[in-house]
Structure 1
Amino acid sequence: MAHAFDISPEKRASRVSFIWRQLFVTPPPVSSDEVNLTGRTALVTGATGGIGLEITRQLLGLGCKVIMGVRDERKGEPVRQVLIQEGNLDDDMVQVWKLDLSSYQSIIAFAANAKNLDNLNIAILNAGIYKVSEAFSPTGYEEGIQINYLSNIFLLISLLPIIKKNAPAGETGHICLVSSDTAAWAKFEERTTTPLLPAFKKPMKTWDMGERYGTSKLLGQLFLTALSKRVSSVTLSCANPGLCGGGSDLAREAKGILRFAHKLQCLVLSQTCAVGARTIVHSVTTLHRQAHGHYVEGDKIQPMAPIVSQDEGNELAERLYEETLEELSFAGVREIIEGVSD
C-alpha cells in the first residue's frame, strides 16, 4: 500500500538529514501501558550484544518471550542469565538457539526446530557483518552479501509459514529485517549487470567496505518490497536503528586508523543501542500492520532508499526477487512463498 511521506526519499537520504536525525531525533520507548506481548514469542538474531541485546531487553519488558539466535551458544548463555536476573524473569522467558547465518544448513536446522513452536509470531532479523577486508563465502559470494542479504532472506522465507501459523487471532505475525541509512548511499553499480547476483562473486576493483555494506542493505529493501506485494498473511517490514554506539560491535573487525575513525564518528553522532532498538520495537508493535512493505525510522514510516520507489528500482526489485528465489531453489523457497500467499 502506498504511503504519504512528509519528506522526499532524496531529502531523507541526504547526509544532512542523517546528521539531524542522529543529533536531534529520539524515538520514544514503547511502554507496557500501550503494548502487551504476554503469551507471544519473538526471535531476535544477533542478540548477544549491541542493538540485538537491547531489542531483546525491550521485548522482555513488554512481556514477550525471546529466542536468541546466536552463532555461539556458549556466548549466548551468560547473556541469557544476565537478562533473567536483571528482569527477575522466569527461566523459560529467554532461550538460546544456535543459528549461524554463514551456513545454509544451520538456517535449515533452525527453521525445522522452530516449526515445533506454537507461539513464535515475531522475528527480528538483526544479525549482520561489516567487512573491513574483502572475503568470499563457500557459496562464492562476498561475505557481506552472503550474510546480510542472501542468508537473512533465506531465514526470512523459511520463517514465513511458522510466523503465519502462529499469528494471534485476528492478527498477523511480523518479520522485521534490520536495515541501515547506508542503503540510501550505495552507488550500486552492479545494478546494470545481467544477471545481477553473480556480480557479487567477483572482487571489487577497489574494496569499499561502506559501499558493499550499503549495497547489502539495499538489496534487502528491494527484495522485501517485491515479497510484500505477494505475501500479506505475514507483516513484513524493514527498520533502521541509525548509527548506534555503546555496545554495538558491527565494526568489530576494524583496526588502527579505521577503528579510531569509527569510534570518533560514534562519539560525535551515535545514539545508544537502547535508543536504536526502540525503532525496531516500534516497527513490530505500535506500527505493526501499517509497516507492511515499508521502512521504519524512529516511530514513523519513512521512505526507503530513493532508487526503491523509482521505475528502475521496481524493475530491479523484480529481477532480484526472481534471481534470489532461483539461488535458494534448493530449499523450495518459491513453494514456501506460494504456500503463504493469499
Structure 2
Amino acid sequence: MVLVGTGYETTKALAQVGAKVILACRSECKANQAIYRMKREHEEEKSDPTKQKVQIKVDDLHVEFMTLDLASLESTVTFIEAYKSRGLPLHVLVCNAGIFCGPKALTSDGYEPHFQINYLSHFLLILHLLPVLKRSGPGSRVVSVASGMYRLASWNVDDMQCLENPDLKNRYATSKYYQIMHMFSLAQRLEEKGVGVFSVHPGVVDTEICMRGGPEVPVLTKIRRTLGAKMLRSPFEGALSSLHAAASPVYDGKTAIYFESSTPRDVTAMVRDKEKQEILWKYSLECLKEYITEDISTELP
C-alpha cells in the first residue's frame, strides 16, 4: 500500500500544472510506488475532468526520485551535491518531510531527532541550495511545512533541542516553532534577493500519523476513532496551503508569510522575537559548522 500524504499531493499537483519535480526521500521503493500511482491517477483524471483537483496542463508527469535522509547530515550534503552536479534550476523548494513523536534516541549526528529532521537538516539544505534558487529567480520560493502546534513550543536557551524535556509532542512543537522563526530570519537576509520564504500549517490531516495512532499521539488517534476521518482534512486539502505558497501568483514578490488553511495568518509574538531568532540562527550555524563552506557562508550576511 502506498500511503498518501500532503507531500504526495503537493508533488502530484505541481507536476500536473507543469513543474518538473524531484521527489527527495529515504526509500526508493516507496518513492517509485508513489510515482507509479501518481501517473496512474493522472491518466484517469485526464480522461475524466470531474476527478481533477487542479487544472491539468501536461500530458505526462515529470517526477523523479533522489535519495535524501534528513536524519543524516552526510546524506543531506550528498543530495545537495548530486542535485547541483546536474545543473538543474530550482524555482520552488518545498520542505515537507518530518517526524511527529519520533524516536527518543539521538541521530547518528548526535542531535535530537525532531530538531534535526524537522529543522536542522532543512536549514542545511536551504543554505546550500540558495545559490541555485537565486540563479533560478527572480520569484523562486522556499516553503516549509510547519504546524499550528508551534504555539505549544518552549524556549530554553540552555536546552535548544529540548533534550531535558521528555514530552515528544513538545519537542515536535519546538522544531516547528524553529521552522517559522527561521522563515523570518531567512527572509530578512534575502531581502531584495528575489527569493520568497513561506511557512504553512496543513491542518490536522488524515495521514499515516493518524492511522498508526499509538500512545504518543492519543489526541489524533482519538479524533479519528470518535469523529471519523471525515472530520479531518484530506491529504489534498492539507496540501493546499503548500500549493498556494509554492505557486500562487498572488504572492509574487512577497515573503515571510505564514499560512493556515491557505490563508495568511498572524503568528505569536514569541515567533517574531528577533533576539530569539538570532540566537537560533547562530546556534544552528554552530551545529552545522562542519558542513558550511566559506562560499556558502558568504551567501547570507
Common topology (TM > 0.5): yes
Q: How far did residue 217 of structure 1 move?
A: 0.4
Query: Is structure 2 residue 141 aligned with structure 1 residue 174?
Result: yes
Q: How far did residue 64 of structure 1 move?
A: 1.3
Instruction: Name the counterpart of 2:54.
Output: none
The residue type paired with residue 113 of structure 1 is: A
Instruction: Name the counterpart of 1:315.
Output: 275
Instruction: Name the counterpart of 2:173.
Output: 214
Assess if the C-alpha contact under 8 Å between 1:183 and 1:305 holds in 2.
Answer: no
The one of 113, 119, 138 aligned to 2:89: 119
Query: Is structure 2 residue 221 aligned with structure 1 residue 263?
Result: yes
Q: How far did residue 137 of structure 1 move?
A: 1.2
Higher mean alpha-carbon deviation, 257-266 vs 152-161, is at: 257-266
Instruction: Name the counterpart of 2:245.
Output: 283
Secondary structure of residue in 2 paired with 1:135 = coil
Assess if the C-alpha contact under 8 Å between 1:176 and 1:237 holds in 2.
Answer: yes
Q: How far did residue 340 of structure 1 move?
A: 6.2
The one of 111, 119, 123 aligned to 1:149: 119
Instruction: Name the counterpart of 1:295.
Output: 258
Secondary structure of residue in 2 paired with 1:183 = helix
Instruction: Name the counterpart of 1:49.
Output: 4
The superposition leaves residues 247-283 of structure 1 with CA deviations (integer Å, 9 ceiling, x where unpaired) of x22467642x556642332464421111110111001
Q: How far did residue 91 of structure 1 move?
A: 6.2
Q: Structure 2: any 5+ residue segments left out of the alignment?
A: 44-57
Task: List, as ranges, runs of 4+ consecutive aligned residues in structure 1 with deviation greater than 4 Å.
Answer: 89-92, 251-254, 257-261
The residue type paired with residue 124 of structure 2 is: F
Instruction: Name the counterpart of 2:235.
Output: 273
Q: How far did residue 162 of structure 1 move?
A: 1.4
Instruction: Name the counterpart of 1:19.
Output: none
The superposition leaves residues 255-313 of structure 1 with CA deviations (integer Å, 9 ceiling, x where unpaired) of 2x55664233246442111111011100122243355122112232211233123xxx2
Going from structure 1 to structure 2, the CA distance change for 1:155 and 1:251 (only over 3 Å counts) comes to farther
Instruction: Name the counterpart of 1:249.
Output: 208
Query: Is structure 2 residue 33 aligned with structure 1 residue 78?
Result: yes
TM-score, reference length from structure 2: 0.83
Query: Is structure 2 residue 16 aligned with structure 1 residue 61?
Result: yes
Secondary structure of residue in 1 paired with 2:298 = helix
Secondary structure of residue in 1 paired with 2:121 = helix
Instruction: Supply the distance in 1 between the matched residues of 2:122 and 2:82 (Cα, whole angstroms).
Output: 17
Assess if the C-alpha contact under 8 Å between 2:26 and 2:69 holds in 1.
Answer: yes
Going from structure 1 to structure 2, the CA distance change for 1:328 and 1:48 (only over 3 Å counts) comes to farther
The residue type paired with residue 62 of structure 1 is: V
Q: How far did residue 56 of structure 1 move?
A: 1.1
Assess if the C-alpha contact under 8 Å between 1:235 and 1:292 holds in 2.
Answer: yes
Instruction: Supply the distance in 1 between the matched residues of 2:149 and 2:287 (Cα, whole angstroms).
Output: 25
The superposition leaves residues 52-91 of structure 1 with CA deviations (integer Å, 9 ceiling, x where unpaired) of 0011121122121211111010111111112122213766
Instruction: Name the counterpart of 1:183.
Output: 150
Assess if the C-alpha contact under 8 Å between 1:237 and 1:295 holds in 2.
Answer: yes
Instruction: Name the counterpart of 1:5.
Output: none
Query: Is structure 2 residue 184 aligned with structure 1 residue 225?
Result: yes
The superposition leaves residues 200-233 of structure 1 with CA deviations (integer Å, 9 ceiling, x where unpaired) of 4x342xx212111100000111122112111132
The residue type paired with residue 84 of structure 1 is: K
Going from structure 1 to structure 2, the CA distance change for 1:288 and 1:114 (only over 3 Å counts) comes to farther
Query: Is structure 2 residue 201 aligned with structure 1 residue 240?
Result: yes
Instruction: Name the counterpart of 2:47.
Output: none
The residue type paired with residue 298 of structure 2 is: E
Aligned length: 278
The residue type paired with residue 105 of structure 1 is: E
Q: Structure 1: any 5+ residue segments left out of the alignment?
A: 1-46
Secondary structure of residue in 2 paired with 1:190 = coil
The residue type paired with residue 263 of structure 1 is: T
The one of 74, 81, 103 aligned to 1:105: 74
Instruction: Supply the distance in 1 between the matched residues of 2:198 and 2:300 (Cα, whole angstroms).
Output: 16
Assess if the C-alpha contact under 8 Å between 2:146 and 2:200 holds in 1.
Answer: yes
Instruction: Supply the distance in 1 between the matched residues of 2:182 and 2:65 (Cα, whole angstroms).
Output: 29
Instruction: Supply the distance in 2 between the matched residues of 1:90 and 1:73 (Cα, whole angstroms).
Output: 24
Instruction: Supply the distance in 2 between the matched residues of 1:223 and 1:259 (Cα, whole angstroms).
Output: 26
Going from structure 1 to structure 2, the CA distance change for 1:259 and 1:213 (only over 3 Å counts) comes to closer
Going from structure 1 to structure 2, the CA distance change for 1:106 and 1:132 (only over 3 Å counts) comes to closer
Instruction: Supply the distance in 1 between the matched residues of 2:180 and 2:203 (Cα, whole angstroms).
Output: 15
Secondary structure of residue in 2 paired with 1:320 = helix
Q: How far did residue 134 of structure 1 move?
A: 2.1
Percent of counterpart pairs with the same letter? 25
